[in-house]
């Protein structure tokens, strides 16, 4: 009888271990899936920011060709772009080499990245307002093409940032919920939200309609 009792205890223990193991694997896999969804969406944000980053040299060269264009405005844009590049190159990684892909794991680095991008947006805004004073640029075909690309990119940036925050919220909520929080531990750190500058709740807006003499450019951030 004692033998059968011992075997019963062992069998029960095995069943418990199997149940717990199955639960642990299931929860961990779900966390991995959520983590990958955040990373995938962050890659979309990076892609759109990189597109804007790559458009700027052409924009600067085109505007630079205008006679007596304000050099200080161009320098401001170039410097703001350089600051973005420095933040991207120096983004601290979580347990790995520096890379912008790890920004979601570091709230401070994310804040620096957002500030640098906002600075670039502001510099572009001022440059495009100044362009209004130069009629030759208003009919420049290259400039008009850059206008279309920049406007589309700004809109996509706003959309992708919002989607990223939605994925980050799902992930952050899950790792805080009990009992999933036990599995998450320190291996699944919270994701930083993409936050815009204080008081900026709208997508960046670029208006190149200079024909009416009222062309303006405004830049605001999105969480």
Percentage of the chain surpassing pLDDT 70? 78
Say which residues have a Cβ less than 8 Å from residue 80's Cβ, sequence separation at least 6.
116, 119, 120, 122, 123, 124
Among 94-108, 124-138, 191-205, which range has the highest average pLDDT? Answer: 124-138
Higher per-residue pLDDT: 125 or 172: 172
Helix (H) or strand (E) holding 205: strand 205-206
Contacts 24+ apart (CB under 8 A), 8-15: none
Comparing 12-16, 38-42, 96-100, the range with the smallest average pLDDT is 96-100
- What per-residue confidence (pLDDT) applies to 28? 93
Q: For residues 130 and 152, is the Cβ–Cβ distance under 8 A?
A: no
Question: pLDDT-based confidence at 5, cuts 50/70/90?
Answer: low
- What per-residue confidence (pLDDT) applies to 90? 61
For range 19-41, the mean pLDDT: 92
Describe the crossing of helices 141-176 and 2-64 by its angle, rounded to 10 degrees. 160
- What per-residue confidence (pLDDT) applies to 87? 85
pLDDT digits (tens, 9 = 90+) for 80-129: 999 999 887 765 444 443 345 688 999 998 999 999 999 999 998 888 88
Question: pLDDT-based confidence at 65, cuts 50/70/90?
Answer: confident
For range 43-58, the mean pLDDT: 94
Q: For residues 114 and 196, is the Cβ–Cβ distance under 8 A?
A: yes
The encoded tokens of residue 59 equal: 């924009």
Position 219 pLDDT exceeds 50: no
- What per-residue confidence (pLDDT) applies to 161? 94
Question: pLDDT-based confidence at 131, cuts 50/70/90?
Answer: confident
pTM: 0.76
Say which residues have a Cβ less than 8 Å from residue 116's Cβ, sequence separation at least 6.
80, 83, 84, 86, 87
Higher per-residue pLDDT: 139 or 166: 166
Position 204 pLDDT exceeds 60: no
Give how far Cα 23 sits from Cα of 18, 26, 28, 187, Å.
Answer: 8, 5, 9, 17
């Amino acid at each position: 009888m004692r033998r059968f009792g011992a075997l019963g205890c062992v069998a029960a223990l095995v069943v418990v271990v199997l149940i717990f193991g199955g639960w642990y694997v299931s929860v961990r896999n779900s966390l991995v899936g959520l983590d990958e969804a955040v990373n995938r969406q962050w890659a979309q944000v990076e892609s759109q920011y990189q597109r804007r980053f790559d458009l700027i040299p052409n924009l600067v060269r085109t505007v630079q060709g205008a006679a007596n264009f304000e050099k200080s405005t161009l320098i401001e844009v170039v410097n703001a772009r350089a600051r973005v590049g420095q933040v991207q190159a120096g983004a601290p990684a979580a347990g790995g080499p520096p890379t912008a892909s790890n920004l979601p794991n570091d709230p401070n680095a994310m804040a620096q990245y957002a500030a640098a991008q906002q600075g670039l947006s502001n510099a572009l805004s001022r440059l495009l307002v100044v362009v209004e004073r130069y009629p030759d640029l208003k009919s420049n075909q290259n400039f008009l093409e850059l206008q279309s690309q920049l406007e589309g990119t700004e809109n996509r940036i706003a959309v992708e940032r919002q989607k990223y925050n939605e994925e980050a919220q799902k992930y952050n909520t899950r790792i805080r919920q009990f009992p999933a929080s036990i599995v998450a531990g320190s291996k699944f750190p919270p994701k930083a939200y993409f936050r815009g500058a204080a008081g900026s709740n709208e997508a960046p807006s670029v208006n190149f309609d200079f024909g009416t003499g009222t062309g303006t450019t405004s830049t605001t951030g999105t969480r």
